[in-house]
Structure 1
Amino acid sequence: MEAGERYASGTWEGTCWHWKQLPQKQSCLRGCPAVPPRFSWAGARVRARGRCIGLAAGNTSEMSMMYFALTFFFSGILTCHGSKSAYNAVPQLLLVSFDGFRADYLKNYKLPHLHEFIKDGVLVKHVSNAFITKTFPNHYSIVTGLYEESHGIVANKMYDAETKKKFSPPHDSDPFWWNEATPIWITNQQQENRTSAAAMWPGTDVKINNTTPHFFMKYNVSVSFVERMEKIVTWLNSSNPPVSFATLYWEEPDASGHKYGPEDTENMRKVLEQVDDHIGFLIAKLKAFGLWDNINIIITSDHGMTQCSQEKIIKLDKCIGRDNYTLVDTTPVAAILPRSNKTYVYNLLKNCSTRMKVYLKEDIPDRFHYHHNNRIQPIILVADEGWTIVQNEPIIRCDHGYDNALSSMHPFLAAHGPAFTKGYKQNTINTVDIYPMMCHILGLKPQPNNGTFSNTKCLLADQWCISLPEAIGIVIGVLMVLTTLTCLLIIMKNRVPTPRPFSRLQLQDDDDDPLIG
């Protein structure tokens, strides 16, 4: 067996193998272009989510059969896989976020446009988001692939002790807060002949490292979804240089989720139907502009939502005087900056309620990835699900921000387009995994990040992936074939020829005289 030549064109790239002694047989399964004539394949072929797998085989002798079996097991599964599809010289990707879209809304409500979108695309049922599960931190994690401690947007409200600066919506446009990371819209524009566009995604109207998207809308909550969407579609369709990456943000169902809560199914049904109508309108608009068949679309969210009540209130004023601390960020993850002795403040808070956990910064659990940033305050309070931390004021609204291990905090992810497989569903990925996947689709070299690209491989049409049960089945099958072939080979080698009866030779008339002593 020898290595085949490497072949490359605009649509196919890969290394295949062939057996020199076998006749040529050109074929490839659906998902790969035609194999060049200089490649010869024979034997079995397997289809596995977007990739062709050629298995070379021959049967010229028992030894070649055994050689094939060994090759099959150790190195016979050889891939013929597509490079980035030739559907467009520059792939286009649209990232859409519907704020506060809890994962289980998908199964609890009728959302025909979204479900149709998923049917021909992919679905991740739960996205494990970053702690804390709030809007600004998670939107920045999506576009940087970094945990909050690494990208610096550690809360919706922040305080920097060194500069004395404060961050809170709408006072969020100072680049100081955003410059610790490079979002994907900047990385995309660093490539030749590429631009990015944004419709109110958090941070896109800020000069991060002195750069904004080439096209963007200044955040204005009064601008409708339709206006935002039409701007994005126009930029995707007619800009020069072309927009290859775009983001679109919408405040619902988060705003209504805070007001009504996920348990108010009637009001949430109305809101989610409106969101679904927005998705349908977006799809129709992309089709009308001739973009639908070639564009890749990701629809996701930053966090979920949980129900709160007046009966689940933790009042700090009952535990500690306000002159002992500054409340930098509020419920359900409260950031405490002690004014007096830190240990004294910590001990008072620790005995305040059994319904919240109190951490010194250095003791925050590692799984939160919430240690290594100066903007994380010395003491952090984490309320139990559904509980609200206040100083003394009443709060009845529902909330998010809780422990990111809670399923109620998880959003979902759905995607559609030529870069994605069709009809595939996966249980979970991490929010930080979205970034390396987007970089792969766009052909970008990602910035250092906390994401794991392999977690998203099964979502992508140009990646080969196999589930654990499938892998076990293949191994068992291969072992059975090897065992059978080995037994057959041993039987054939040990087979004793059947003795033939002795026949006396008879002389013919023209034979020489026999030599008789």
Structure 2
Amino acid sequence: MMTPFRSLLTLTALLGLAACASTDTARQAQHAPVDEPIVLMIGVDGLSAGALDLFEAPHMQALAARGIRPEAMVPVMPSVTFTNFYSLATGLYPEDHGMINNHPFDRELNEGFVNPMSAQDSRWWSGEPIWITAERQGLPTSIMFWLGSEVEFDGDRPTRWTPYEHNKPYQERVDEVLAWFDGPESERPRFAALYFDLVDSIAHRAGADTPEVGAAIATVDGYVGQLVAGLEARGLMDRTHILIVSDHGMATNPEENVIYFDDFMDLSTVYVPEVEGRSGNGFRPFVNVYGEPDAIEAAYQSLQGAHPHMRAWKRGEMPDHFRFDHPTRGPDLFILADPGWILSARSLPLGSPWRSVGVHGYDVADPVMHAGFIAAGPMFPEGTRPAAFESVNIYLLIACILGLEPAETAGNPAVISALTGGRCEVG
């Protein structure tokens, strides 16, 4: 027969065991694998479609081997950074999101985009970036240095964001991103993005596909490897989709290949932000011209056939794939050089004597402007090379992976199905 004292000890022990079991169960629940998908988008500025065929990048190549690396990702026009990174985020062409170049001019506002102030001015940014879609549907997001991420959209922002710091060391960027994935599951981002500029910066100085560019790619690749290793250490890789995206390719511009477009038109009758704006005259692949109809018509007529490597189009008459005829920012006249050539104004002083050896901003129909894309994760079939596709599909791809109801975009559900081998279908 058990004494009352011994009964109390037994009951206490049983209660203790039950408490331990309850604590263990809670601890296991807290650390149990969760199958909700995560997307990490890594922006590598200036990574061309063929870069990984030319240079060693073992970590990115390993991701491609266990995921997909399409033949190319076709940027939106013009093939410059602001325009394309914002199209990646919104799934829209510039005619709809308004970022028609790196420093657009708005005829209705009668002002131009100026960094860094305009980066946080909501008047310049239209559409709905993927991080806003995610936040509005209850998924936390964390964004580092993505164009448009500093803006509030009707009161909504990413859970974490930070103003752009060009000189922030890459190691600090990687450490901070990995720290986002520490802590409770509820605080980890389901969508995260960060940006590296190095490949583009070096290509501007050294030219396209040079050994210097290869070294820059290797540097960025090392940080990609750290991100992968960090996610693996946290037990998150099985549900993480890594997307490596870029904004454009790069062409080399020989020093002698300059077209002085003002030899053929009167600059005093029009406004050309690229040579008369804040940065001043320089060497550019294209210029946007604004003016009264008579002045625009005169300039247009004078430019026809003026140079074999220069073309010009009036507003409303541009090629269908340009898609940057924004109602208040699209130019009245667009002048574009061929890859390998550059535009400048002979009659205006140079804002800076420095010029890029590597240049982008040319017609996206030319393969030299096509961007690189790699994706790996549960939604992507292993080691496949889908056909080239347009970058406006990235928003819809991410929304599909995360199970989000997308905003209206230019994305094509058939492209999403092709990229994921039918694993992700947009209804």
Q: Same fold (TM over 0.5)?
A: yes
Change (3 A) 1:311 1:270: same
Deviations 1:96-117 (A, max 9, x none): 1100101111101111111111
Alignment of structure 1 residues 145-294 onto 2, 5 Å? 145-173=91-119, 174-178=121-125, 180-192=126-138, 194-238=139-183, 240-263=186-209, 265-294=210-239
1:332 paired residue among 285, 288, 299:
285
Deviation of residue 243 (structure 1)?
A: 1.3
- Is 2:78 the counterpart of 1:132? yes
Whichever residue aligns with residue 446 of structure 1, its letter is: P
Deviation of residue 89 (structure 1)?
A: 4.9
SS class of match (2:123): helix
Query: Do the aligned residues in 2 keep the contact of 1:306 with 1:399 (CA within 8 Å)?
Result: yes
| TM-score w.r.t. length of structure 1 | 0.69
Deviation of residue 454 (structure 1)?
A: 1.4
Q: Which residue of structure 1 lines up, in the alignment, with residue 278 of structure 2? A: none
Whichever residue aligns with residue 133 of structure 1, its letter is: S
Query: Do the aligned residues in 1 keep the contact of 2:270 with 2:296 (CA within 8 Å)?
Result: no
RMSD: 2.1
Whichever residue aligns with residue 228 of structure 2, its letter is: I
Deviation of residue 228 (structure 1)?
A: 1.6
Separation in 1 of the partners of 2:70 and 2:118? 31
Deviation of residue 271 (structure 1)?
A: 1.3
Q: Which residue of structure 1 lines up, in the alignment, with residue 378 of structure 2? A: 418
Change (3 A) 1:195 1:417: same
Separation in 2 of the partners of 1:199 and 1:347? 46
Whichever residue aligns with residue 258 of structure 2, its letter is: I
Change (3 A) 1:386 1:171: farther
Change (3 A) 1:132 1:278: same
SS class of match (1:122): coil
Deviation of residue 88 (structure 1)?
A: 3.3
Change (3 A) 1:315 1:166: same
Matched length: 377
SS class of match (2:393): helix
Query: Do the aligned residues in 2 keep the contact of 1:324 with 1:345 (CA within 8 Å)?
Result: no
Q: Which consecutive unaligned segments of at least 5 residues does structure 2 have?
A: 1-31, 276-283
- Residue identity (%): 29
Deviation of residue 148 (structure 1)?
A: 1.0
Deviation of residue 199 (structure 1)?
A: 0.8
Deviation of residue 318 (structure 1)?
A: 2.0
Deviation of residue 425 (structure 1)?
A: 1.7
Larger helix proportion of the pair: 2
Whichever residue aligns with residue 343 of structure 2, its letter is: I
Alignment of structure 1 residues 459-478 onto 2, 5 Å? 459-460=419-420, 463=423
1:434 paired residue among 387, 394, 402:
394
Deviation of residue 464 (structure 1)?
A: 8.2
Separation in 2 of the partners of 1:237 and 1:460? 29
Separation in 2 of the partners of 1:169 and 1:98? 21
Deviation of residue 402 (structure 1)?
A: 0.6
SS class of match (2:312): strand
Q: Which moved more, 1:347-356 or 1:302-311?
A: 347-356
Q: Which consecutive unaligned segments of at least 5 residues does structure 1 have?
A: 1-85, 466-517
The structure whose RCO (Cα within 8 Å, separation 6+) is larger is: 2
Larger strand proportion of the pair: 1
Q: Which residue of structure 1 lines up, in the alignment, with residue 408 of structure 2? A: 448
| TM-score w.r.t. length of structure 2 | 0.83
